[in-house]
C-alpha cells in the first residue's frame, strides 16, 4: 500500500522543490520575469545586471538554502533516531554551540587583542569565521565521540552534550562581556543565521561538501533502522552499537558543523523536518526517511528563504526567525498529535 | 561451524561493575527443551540472561556456545546463534508488524538491509508459527501487550538462531495470554528443536510447562533439573519456604503458606472436600480427616451440596453452601478463643 504512494510523494516533493527554487530566482527587490531567468541561466541573455543578480546573489543563495536545509534535516533525523528522542535536533549535542564558541573567539577576541575588528576585514574575515566555526564544532564533536565510547546509556550522553552546550554558551557570554560593541554586533548578526553570507566560490565549496556528506550519511540507513529497536535488540541483531553510534554522531555532527560554519546556527529545520517527513511518508524506514528529509528540508529552506526575501522585508528578515515561525507550529502539532494518540490507550 | 547451540555455563560469575551477583555457576542448556529460570528479584535472573546474550561481560568464567565463549565470537556471528526477546517496551511510529518481524533478518541481509525472496519466506513462516498471521499489516504500536510479545517472538524466529532467550515474556500478560505464550514457546522448542530459555516469575506455569528448571538463589546458588526431580528431592520445597510459599509435593504445585490458629476435623472426599478445606485454610483453620477434634464438618456425598456442621457444644446444622458453613465456624471460633 505504501509502495504505491511513495513515487507520487517523491514527485510532489521534487516538483514543489523545483518550483520554490525558481521562485527564489524570480523574486527579490528587483523582479526578473521567469523567461528572463531561464535565458540568463542558459546564457542567452545580455542583461548584465540580471546576470549579476542571478549568478552573484540569487543562485548562490538558493543553492546554499538547498544544501543547508537538506544537511540539517538529515542530521536532525540521525540525532532523533540515535537518541530515541523526538526533541533531539542537530544542536542537541552542543556541536553548534561549539561552532558558536569558535566564532565568538575569533570575532570577539580579534577586536580585543588584535586591535582590528574582524567584521571589517572582508573575505579574510569571512574565511576566519568559517574556519573557526568548523574548528569549534569539530572540537566539541571529538569530545562527544570520546565520551560516547566511555558511556553506555544514550540519556547520559545526551545530558553531557547539553551540558557542554551550556558551558560553551557561558564562555561566549564572558567573551561578549569583554568585547567591543561593534564586534558583539557582528557576532549577534552571525548568530541570526543567513543563506546569503556565503559568497561566490565558497558557495560551490559548501554545496560540494554537502553533496559528498549526505550520500555518505545515507550509508548508515541499516544501522539507523536497527537503532530504532534500542541498544539491546540492535546488538543482538549483529550491530556493533558503540561503533554505529559513533559513526552516526560523526556523520550528523559533520553536517551541522559545515552548515553552521557557512550559514550560522540555523535552528528548527533539523528538528522539524524529520517529524514532518515521518507524518507525510508514514514510515520509520530510514532508507526512505533519509532521502525524504534531504528533499523536504531543501524545499522548506527554500520556502523560508523566499519568505525572508519577500518584497517589503527586503532581505532584512533573519532566516532563523522564519524557520522558527514555521518550525515551531510543526513541532507543536506533532507533539499534540502524539499526546492525543497515546491518550487512546 | 556446527549449529547445535549447545550452551554451557563454565564456572561463570555474573555481576555489574566488578560486583558479583551470582556464581560460580555451572550448567548446560539443551536443545529441543524449554528451560525456565526462576528466582527472587535481585537473584541475578536478568544479569544471567544479559550475560548469555553478551550484553555484559562475565566477571569470571565463561558462557560457551558449541565450545566458543560468547564474548569472543563477535556480534555478527553471535547474532546467528542467540536471539533475544527483552522486557524493554518501545514505540516506533508507523512500523508494521511485518516490518518488525523482518528486522529479525538483519544478520542475513546485505548492506542496505533489503529482504530477498528467501528472507521473505522465512518471515512469512515465522509469522505463521508465532500465530500472528492476522496481525501482519497492523501497526506495531497498535497491538496489545500479548500481541506485541508474540510479534517479538516471530521476529526472533525470523532470526533463525538455535538458542532463544526471553526475559520475563509472560510479565504484564493476563492469565490466558500467559498460558498461550508458554504453549507457543514449548511448541517452538519441540517443533523447531530450539533451545528456549526464559526467566519468569510465574511459578505455576513454569512448573507445568517447562522441561527443565533452573533455580537461582543468592545463598544456594543454581539448582537445575526437571521439575519432578527437583520436587522429589525437596529442592523446590526448600526454595521458597521462608517466603510464605509452600510447595505442595502431592500436587507438585506451589500454594500460599497458611499459619493456622484453629483446627477442625473434616470428613469426606472429592472436590467438595478440597473446596471446603481450601476455604477453611484461608481462614487460618487447619482441616483434615486426621485431626482429632470434637468439632467435625462432614462433607457427605457428592449427590448434594449439603454440609453437616457438628461443633462441640453446639447444635448440629446442615447448610447448603461453603459460605454459610464458614459463617457458623467463624462465629464459633470467635466465641471459643480459649481453645
Report the C-alpha gap between B165 and B149 in whole angstroms.
13
The single residue listed with the C-alpha cell 478440597 is: B274
What would the mean pLDDT of B230-252 be, rounded to a whole number?
73
Confidence of residue A201 (pLDDT cuts 50, 70, 90): confident
- Residue B164 · residue B156 · CB < 8 Å: yes
Identify whether residues B191 and B299 lie together within a single domain. no
Pick A330 or B137 by higher pLDDT: B137
Q: How far is A55 from chain B (nearest CA, A)?
A: 39
Confidence of residue B128 (pLDDT cuts 50, 70, 90): very high
How large a percentage of chain B has pLDDT more than 70?
Answer: 95
**DSSP type of residue A119:** G
- Quote the radius of gyration of chain A (alpha carbons, Å): 21
Report the C-alpha gap between A238 and B52 in whole angstroms.
15
What would the mean pLDDT of A195-212 be, rounded to a whole number?
83
**DSSP type of residue B217:** E
Residue A341 has pLDDT above 60, yes or no: no
In a domain? residue B253: no
C-alpha cell at A86: 523526538
Q: CB burial class (10 A; 0-12, 13-18, 19+) of residue B175?
A: exposed
pLDDT of residue A121: 57
Identify whether residues B101 and B226 lie together within a single domain. yes
Do the chains contact at B75 and A239, CB–CB below 8 Å? yes
Q: Is B157 near chain A, with CB under 8 Å? A: no
Task: Give me the CATH number covering residue B140.
Answer: 3.40.50.300
- Residue A170 · residue A30 · CB < 8 Å: no
Closest partner residue to A222 (CB to CB) among B99, B104, B112 is B112
B9, B13, B106: which is closest to B65 by C-alpha? B9
Identify whether residues B272 and B225 lie together within a single domain. no
Confidence of residue B2 (pLDDT cuts 50, 70, 90): very low
Name A226's Cβ contacts closer than 8 Å, sequence gap at least 6: A233, A234, A237, A239, A244, B103, B106
The single residue listed with the C-alpha cell 569472543 is: B72
Identify whether residues B68 and B11 lie together within a single domain. yes
Per-residue pLDDT tens over the stretch A62-102: 999 999 999 999 999 998 898 888 777 777 778 888 888 88
**DSSP type of residue B84:** E
Candidates A225, A233, A289: best to mutate against B (most CBs of B within 10 A) is A233
Closest partner residue to B75 (CB to CB) among A233, A235, A284 is A235
Q: Is B264 near chain A, with CB under 8 Å? A: no
In a domain? residue B249: no
Per-residue pLDDT tens over the stretch B173-201: 888 889 989 999 999 998 888 999 999 98
Q: How far is B127 from chain A (nearest CA, A)?
A: 18
Q: CB burial class (10 A; 0-12, 13-18, 19+) of residue A25?
A: buried
Q: How far is A235 from chain B (nearest CA, A)?
A: 7
Identify whether residues B310 and B233 lie together within a single domain. no
Per-residue pLDDT tens over the stretch A228-242: 998 889 999 999 988
Confidence of residue A344 (pLDDT cuts 50, 70, 90): very low
Q: How does strand B163-167 pair with strand B34-38?
A: unpaired
List chain A residues with CB under 8 Å of B107: 237-238
Do the chains contact at A238 and B92, CB–CB below 8 Å? no
Do the chains contact at B79 and A284, CB–CB below 8 Å? no
pTM of the complete model: 0.82
B273, B301, B280, B85: which is closest to B194 by C-alpha? B85
Q: What is the DSSP string of A270-334?
A: HHHHHHHHHHHH----HHHHHHHHHHHHHHHHHHHHHHHTSTTTTT-S-HHHHHHHHHHHHHHHH
Do the chains contact at A230 and B86, CB–CB below 8 Å? yes
Residue A220 has pLDDT above 60, yes or no: yes
Instruction: Give Dmax (Cα) for chain B.
Output: 86
The secondary element (H helix, E strand) that includes residue B224 is strand B221-225
Per-residue pLDDT tens over the stretch A246-256: 899 889 888 98
Closest partner residue to B79 (CB to CB) among A84, A228, A238 is A238
Can you give the residue ranges of every domain in chain A? 2-80+89-342
Q: How far is B226 from chain A (nearest CA, A)?
A: 29
Per-residue pLDDT tens over the stretch B17-49: 878 888 788 888 888 899 999 988 888 888 999
Confidence of residue A1 (pLDDT cuts 50, 70, 90): very low
Tally of structural domains, chain B: 2
- Choose the final residue of a domain: B207, B240, B273: B240
Q: How far is A289 from chain B (nearest CA, A)?
A: 12
Identify whether residues B179 and B60 lie together within a single domain. yes
A60, A93, A122, A32: which is closest to A305 by C-alpha? A60
What would the mean pLDDT of B280-293 be, rounded to a whole number?
85
Confidence of residue B85 (pLDDT cuts 50, 70, 90): very high
Per-residue pLDDT tens over the stretch A18-57: 999 988 888 877 777 878 888 888 877 777 788 888 888 8
Identify whether residues B98 and B203 lie together within a single domain. yes
Identify whether residues B176 and B325 lie together within a single domain. no
Please report the number of interchain residue pairs, chain A to chain B, with beta-carbon separation below 8 angstroms. 67
Identify whether residues B171 and B267 lie together within a single domain. no
The secondary element (H helix, E strand) that includes residue B102 is helix B97-102
Among all residues of chain A, which has the CA nearest to that of B106? A237
Q: Write A120-128 long-range contacts (CB < 8 A, 24+).
A: A126/A197, A126/A199, A126/A202
ipTM topping 0.90 = no
Alpha helices by DSSP H, listed for chain A, are: 2-26, 34-41, 48-52, 59-82, 95-109, 122-150, 154-177, 181-192, 201-218, 221-227, 231-236, 241-263, 269-281, 286-308, 319-342
Torsion sign across C-alpha atoms B134, B136, B141, B144: positive
CA A211-A228-A245 angle, to 5 degrees, is: 60
Closest partner residue to B112 (CB to CB) among A84, A221, A237 is A221
Q: Is B290 near chain A, with CB under 8 Å? A: no
Fold entry, domain A2-80+89-342: ABC transporter involved in vitamin B12 uptake, BtuC (1.10.3470)
Identify whether residues B298 and B218 lie together within a single domain. no
List chain B residues with CB under 8 Å of A232: 53, 55, 84, 86, 88
Q: How does strand B60-65 pair with strand B68-69?
A: antiparallel
Average pLDDT over chain B, rounded to whole?
A: 86
Residue A269 has pLDDT above 60, yes or no: yes
Do the chains contact at B112 and A226, CB–CB below 8 Å? no
Closest partner residue to B75 (CB to CB) among A219, A238, A285 is A238
List chain B residues with CB under 8 Å of A84: 90
Alpha helices by DSSP H, listed for B283-321, are: none
Q: Is B36 helix (H, G, I), strand (E, B) or coil?
A: strand
Identify whether residues B116 and B224 lie together within a single domain. yes
Interface of A with B in 222-241 (CB under 8 A): 222, 225-226, 228-230, 232-233, 235-240
- Residue A82 · residue A248 · CB < 8 Å: yes
A266, A193, A189, A204: which is closest to A56 by C-alpha? A204
CA atoms within 13 A on the CB side of B262: 24
Identify whether residues B223 and B296 lie together within a single domain. no
**DSSP type of residue B103:** G
Report the C-alpha gap between B111 and A104 in whole angstroms.
42
The secondary element (H helix, E strand) that includes residue B20 is strand B19-29
Could you list the residue range(s) of the whole structural domain that residue B291 is in? 262-335
Confidence of residue A343 (pLDDT cuts 50, 70, 90): very low
Among all residues of chain A, which has the CA nearest to that of B152? A233
Amino acid at each position: 500500500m505504501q509502495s504505491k504512494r511513495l513515487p507520487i510523494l517523491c514527485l510532489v516533493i521534487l516538483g514543489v522543490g523545483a518550483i520554490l527554487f525558481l521562485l527564489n530566482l524570480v523574486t527579490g527587490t528587483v523582479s526578473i520575469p521567469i523567461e528572463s531567468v531561464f535565458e540568463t541561466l542558459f546564457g542567452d541573455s545580455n542583461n548584465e545586471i540580471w546576470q549579476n543578480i542571478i549568478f552573484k546573489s540569487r543562485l548562490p543563495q538558493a543553492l546554499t538554502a538547498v544544501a543547508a536545509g537538506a544537511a540539517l534535516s538529515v542530521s536532525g533525523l540521525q540525532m532523533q533516531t540515535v537518541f530515541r528522542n523526538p526533541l533531539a535536533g542537530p544542536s542537541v549535542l552542543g556541536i553548534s554551540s561549539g561552532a558558536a564558541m569558535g566564532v565568538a573567539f575569533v570575532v570577539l577576541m580579534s577586536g580585543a587583542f588584535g586591535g582590528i575588528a574582524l567584521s571589517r576585514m572582508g573575505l579574510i574575515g569571512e574565511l576566519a569565521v568559517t574556519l573557526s566555526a568548523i574548528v569549534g564544532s569539530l572540537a566539541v564533536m571529538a569530545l562527544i565521540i570520546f565520551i560516547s565510547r566511555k558511556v553506555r546509556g544514550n540519556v547520559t550522553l545526551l545530558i553531557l552534550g547539553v551540558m557542554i552546550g551550556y558551558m560553551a554558551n557561558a564562555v561566549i557570554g564572558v567573551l561578549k562581556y569583554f568585547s567591543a560593541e561593534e564586534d558583539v554586533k557582528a557576532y549577534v548578526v552571525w548568530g541570526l543565521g543567513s543563506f546569503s553570507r556565503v559568497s561566490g566560490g565558497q558557495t560551490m565549496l559548501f554545496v560540494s561538501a554537502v553533496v559528498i556528506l549526505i550520500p555518505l550519511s545515507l550509508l548508515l540507513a541499516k544501522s539507523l533502522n536497527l537503532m530504532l529497536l534500542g541498544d539491546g535488540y540492535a546488538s543482538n541483531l549483529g550491530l556493533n552499537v558503540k561503533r554505529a553510534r559513533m559513526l552516526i554522531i560523526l556523520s550528523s555532527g559533520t553536517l551541522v558543523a559545515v552548515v553552521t560554519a557557512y550559514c550560522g546556527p540555523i535552528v528548527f529545520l533539523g528538528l522539524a523536518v524529520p517529524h514532518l517527513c515521518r507524518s507525510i511518508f508514514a514510515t520509520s524506514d530510514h532508507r526512505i526517511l533519509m532521502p525524504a528529509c534531504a528533499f523536504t528540508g531543501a524545499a522548506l529552506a527554500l520556502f523560508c528563504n523566499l519568505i525572508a526575501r519577500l518584497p517589503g522585508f527586503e532581505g532584512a528578515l533573519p532566516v532563523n526567525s522564519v524557520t522558527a515561525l514555521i518550525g515551531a507550529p510543526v513541532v507543536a502539532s506533532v507533539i499534540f498529535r502524539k499526546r492525543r494518540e497515546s491518550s487512546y490507550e | 561451524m556446527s549449529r547445535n547451540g549447545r550452551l554451557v555455563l563454565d564456572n561463570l560469575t555474573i555481576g555489574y561493575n566488578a560486583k558479583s551477583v551470582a556464581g560460580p555457576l555451572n550448567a548446560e542448556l539443551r536443545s529441543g527443551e524449554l528451560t525456565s529460570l526462576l528466582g527472587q528479584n535481585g537473584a541475578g535472573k536478568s544479569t544471567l540472561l544479559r550475560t548469555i546474550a553478551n550484553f555484559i561481560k562475565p566477571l569470571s568464567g565463561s558462557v560457551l556456545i558449541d565450545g566458543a565463549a560468547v564474548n569472543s565470537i563477535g556480534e555478527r556471528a553471535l547474532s546467528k546463534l542467540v536471539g533475544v526477546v527483552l522486557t524493554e517496551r518501545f514505540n516506533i511510529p508507523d512500523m508494521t508488524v511485518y516490518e518488525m518481524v523482518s528486522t529479525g533478518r538483519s544478520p542475513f541481509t546485505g548492506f542496505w538491509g533489503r529482504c530477498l525472496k528467501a528472507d521473505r519466506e522465512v518471515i512469512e513462516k515465522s509469522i505463521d508459527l508465532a500465530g500472528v498471521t492476522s496481525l501482519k499489516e497492523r501497526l506495531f504500536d497498535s497491538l496489545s501487550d500479548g500481541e506485541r510479545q508474540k510479534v517479538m517472538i516471530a521476529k526472533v524466529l525470523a532470526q533463525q538462531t538455535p538458542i532463544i532467550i526471553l526475559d520475563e515474556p509472560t510479565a504484564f500478560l493476563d492469565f490466558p495470554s500467559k498460558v498461550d505464550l508458554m504453549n507457543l514457546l514449548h511448541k517452538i522448542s519441540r517443533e523447531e528443536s530450539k533451545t528456549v530459555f526464559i526467566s519468569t516469575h510465574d511459578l505455576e506455569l513454569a512448573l507445568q510447562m517447562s522441561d527443565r528448571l533452573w533455580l537461582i538463589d543468592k545463598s544456594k546458588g543454581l539448582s537445575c533439573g526437571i521439575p519432578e526431580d527437583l520436587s522429589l528431592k525437596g529442592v523446590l520445597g526448600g526454595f521458597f519456604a521462608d517466603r510464605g510459599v509452600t510447595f505442595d509435593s502431592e500436587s507438585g504445585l506451589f500454594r500460599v503458606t497458611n499459619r493456622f490458629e484453629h483446627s477442625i476435623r473434616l470428613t469426606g472426599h472429592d472436590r467438595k472436600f478440597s473446596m471446603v478445606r481450601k476455604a477453611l485454610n484461608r481462614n487460618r483453620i487447619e482441616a483434615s480427616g486426621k485431626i482429632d477434634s470434637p468439632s467435625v464438618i462432614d462433607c457427605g456425598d457428592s449427590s448434594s451440596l449439603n454440609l453437616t456442621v457438628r461443633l462441640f457444644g453446639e447444635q448440629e446444622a446442615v447448610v447448603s453452601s461453603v459460605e454459610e458453613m464458614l459463617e457458623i465456624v467463624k462465629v464459633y471460633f470467635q466465641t471459643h478463643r480459649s481453645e
